[in-house]
């Protein structure tokens, strides 16, 4: 597969012809990183958008000042892009990007991106719109995650009559943030009678089923 064909698979370029992609690719710089390489560090100045042609990149946030421990925020692969906030606004990098597999990337600096938009407004606006759509989806995901954490934190400071009641409350809080139609059910261990109570989300299931043991595991062989 040629680089143009790989770029055609990127959401940014879905609506572009191969000739348009080829022209836009002229504004890019091709780079390569080996697994473990840091592409950019958190809290550094950035003005570059990256598109993954091959490989895998982890976006991660430092958990300590020394930068020895990180929380993975996203794992991106071929067809994904990152660094859009920096290229749009020239902001400091809010997280670190690290190659988790050998990577082939296209990079475009802010000045080159806006030069292309100026030279090719129709194509440029299409690309800019796709960047904004992706950015909004990522912001929505982050907002939902933060809201869910806040809602769950309230349960940690609320008194519950039993572990089962606590689990049911937590599941109720989580359900709105799960996409699609989820059939939420779980077993909560009852240490007093060595059985499991089935715990339900209140608005999906009745509350009066008797305690039961979980289904037995199938016999080997």
Domain that holds residue 98: 3-144
Same domain, 17 and 118: yes
- Banded pLDDT at 16 (limits 50, 70, 90): confident
pLDDT, residue 207, reads 44
Average of per-residue pLDDT values in the chain:
73
pLDDT digits (tens, 9 = 90+) for 39-80: 999 988 888 999 998 899 999 988 887 777 888 888 999 888
Residue 164: burial class (beta carbons within 10 Å; 0-12, 13-18, 19+): buried
Phi/psi of residue 52, each to 5°? -85, 115
Question: pTM for this structure?
Answer: 0.60
Same domain, 140 and 183: no
pLDDT, residue 142, reads 55
Last residue of a domain, one of 94, 109, 144: 144
What is 131-178 written as a DSSP string? HHHHHHHHHHHHHHHHHHHHHHHHHHTS--SSHHHHHHHHHHHHGGGS
Last residue of a domain, one of 90, 121, 144: 144
Question: How many structural domains is the chain composed of?
Answer: 2
Here the tokens at position 110 are 């802010």
Q: Fill in the DSSP letter of residue 217.
A: P
CA–CA distance, 51 with 13 (Å, rounded to integer): 11
CA–CA distance, 166 with 155 (Å, rounded to integer): 7
pLDDT digits (tens, 9 = 90+) for 156-194: 666 666 666 666 666 666 555 554 444 444 444 444 444
**150 lies in some domain:** no
CA–CA distance, 66 with 102 (Å, rounded to integer): 26
Task: Report the DSSP beta bridge partners of residue 71.
Answer: 61
Same domain, 134 and 175: no
Q: Answer yes or no: is pLDDT of 12 > 70.
A: yes
- Banded pLDDT at 107 (limits 50, 70, 90): very high
Same domain, 179 and 99: no
CA–CA distance, 118 with 27 (Å, rounded to integer): 13
Same domain, 202 and 135: no
- Banded pLDDT at 92 (limits 50, 70, 90): confident
For Cα atoms 167, 152, 191, give the angle at the middle one, nearest 5 degrees. 25
């Amino acid at each position: 597969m040629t680089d143009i064909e790989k770029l055609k698979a990127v959401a940014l370029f879905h609506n572009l012809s191969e000739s348009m992609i080829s022209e836009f690719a002229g504004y890019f710089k091709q780079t390569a990183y080996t697994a473990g390489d840091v592409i950019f560090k958190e809290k550094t100045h950035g003005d570059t958008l990256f598109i993954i042609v091959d490989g895998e990149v982890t976006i991660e946030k430092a958990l300590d000042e020394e930068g020895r421990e990180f929380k993975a925020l996203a794992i991106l692969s071929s067809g994904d892009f990152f660094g859009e906030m920096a290229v749009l606004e020239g902001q400091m990098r809010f997280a670190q990007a690290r190659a988790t597999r050998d990577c082939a990337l296209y990079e475009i600096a802010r000045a080159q991106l806006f030069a292309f938009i100026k030279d090719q407004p129709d194509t440029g606006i299409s690309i800019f719109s796709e960047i904004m759509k992706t950015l909004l989806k990522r912001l929505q995901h982050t907002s939902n995650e933060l809201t869910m954490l806040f809602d769950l934190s309230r349960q940690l400071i609320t008194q519950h009559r039993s572990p089962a009641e606590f689990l049911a409350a937590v599941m109720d809080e989580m359900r709105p943030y799960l996409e699609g139609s989820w059939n939420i059910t779980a077993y909560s261990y009852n240490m007093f009678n060595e059985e499991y109570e089935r715990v339900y989300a209140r608005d999906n299931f009745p509350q009066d089923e008797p305690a039961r043991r979980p289904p037995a595991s199938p016999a080997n062989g």
